Chains A and B, each alone.
Chain A
Amino acid sequence: MKRTTGGRRTSRALLRDVALVCLADGIVGLSFGATAVAGGLPWWLPVAMSLLVFAGGAQFAAVGVVLAGGSPAAAVAAGAVLNTRLFPYGLAVADVTGPAGPPGSPRGRWWVRLLGAHLVTDESVAFALRGDGPAGRRAGFWTCGAALFAAWNVAVLLGAAVGSAVKNTAAFGLDAAFPAVLLALALPTLADRRTRAAAFAGASAAVALTPFLPAGLPVLAGLGGLAAGWRPRRPGRLRGRLPGRLAGRLPGRRPGRSRRGAAG
């Protein structure tokens, strides 16, 4: 791992921010392991899932579908749709997930690229995108990705142990941790009015459909909310991909731009 630019101050700030994110996600991982095991799944299932899938939202969605009585196929579908966002994420950070060196250098260390791909998450992408310059982006991605992988899996393992010991996890309110994290992750993206309209419509539809659809499908149906927020934008206003806005959640630069500024 290289941390060359930015100097000591930046890298200390980076480590502090990464630690905060790991702590928060650790609590979520704890609640994931505990919820899954207390719900009746074997302890190794959330643990294996965390190692192999390593995507909190999809893991919760899949296990949630199964615990609610949905089929394994519905569980996989819900998790998979949620993870489609990893494709644009991967495009956005493709320059840092592979080995360092000039792009296109033949036969680079292919296993570094394979490993880096597994570390693409909401958090590591956000850290990559707020990094300064190529080295800063690389440092953000790998520091966050590696630390989070360790923290997440240890936390899920601990949670599974807690879930086996404490049967009544609801008393500790652990079931509220997951929606809270999702909400906190989504909030910065809701600064955009169209996205907000789409998200509100989608969430309303998903909640309204929950009594009638098999578990897992209401969230997918929420995608219909996109229609509510969708208008073609003028090309002059193309700024910021989602990861950029996601990065706005983290402490650091976020230039305030007047919304109606230069509209003519």
Chain B
Amino acid sequence: MPLLAVAALAAVTYAFRLAGPLLRDRVTVPPAAQRLLSSAAAVLLVSLAATSALTAGHGFAGWARPAGVLAAGVLAARRAPFPVVVVTAAAVTALLRLGGIR
């Protein structure tokens, strides 16, 4: 991944960040559009979570990783502290791999 790509992503990201504060007084986002953007962000987050939990390259990531993510998801749904959620994901996955499950 060339440095140019990093710079491009950084520039686009910063433009999105700065646009809100700069345009606040000039544009009002209609509530419907705002809801659409909100839902889009949620859909992207969950889609990215699902693909990064279940797939590696073009194939299945193996059982260990999704198992760790699932355990973490259960804890998150029960409002466990964030660090506990993250460490659980890594620990469950690592232990499964240690036990020979990929």
CB pair A176–B9 under 8 Å, yes or no, is: no
* Majority SS at the chain A contact face: helix
CB pair A81–B44 under 8 Å, yes or no, is: yes
Provide the residues of chain B in CB contact with A98, threshold 8 Å.
Answer: 21
User: Known contacts A57-B48, A117-B18, A173-B94: does B86 contact A225 (CB below 8 Å)?
Assistant: no
Provide the residues of chain B in CB contact with A82, threshold 8 Å.
Answer: 44, 48
* Majority SS at the chain B contact face: helix
Provide the residues of chain B in CB contact with A200, threshold 8 Å.
Answer: 46
CB nearest neighbor in B for A24 = B82
CB pair B16–A86 under 8 Å, yes or no, is: yes
B interface residues, how many (CB within 8 angstroms): 76
Binding site for A on B (CB under 8 A): 1-10, 12-14, 16-21, 23-25, 29, 31-32, 34-59, 61, 64-65, 68-69, 72-73, 76-77, 81-83, 85-95, 97-98
Given contacts A49-B10, A90-B18, 20 further A-B contacts (CB under 8 A): A24-B81, A24-B85, A76-B12, A84-B16, A87-B16, A87-B19, A171-B98, A173-B64, A173-B91, A175-B61, A179-B49, A180-B72, A180-B89, A183-B72, A204-B50, A219-B51, A230-B36, A241-B34, A241-B38, A242-B38
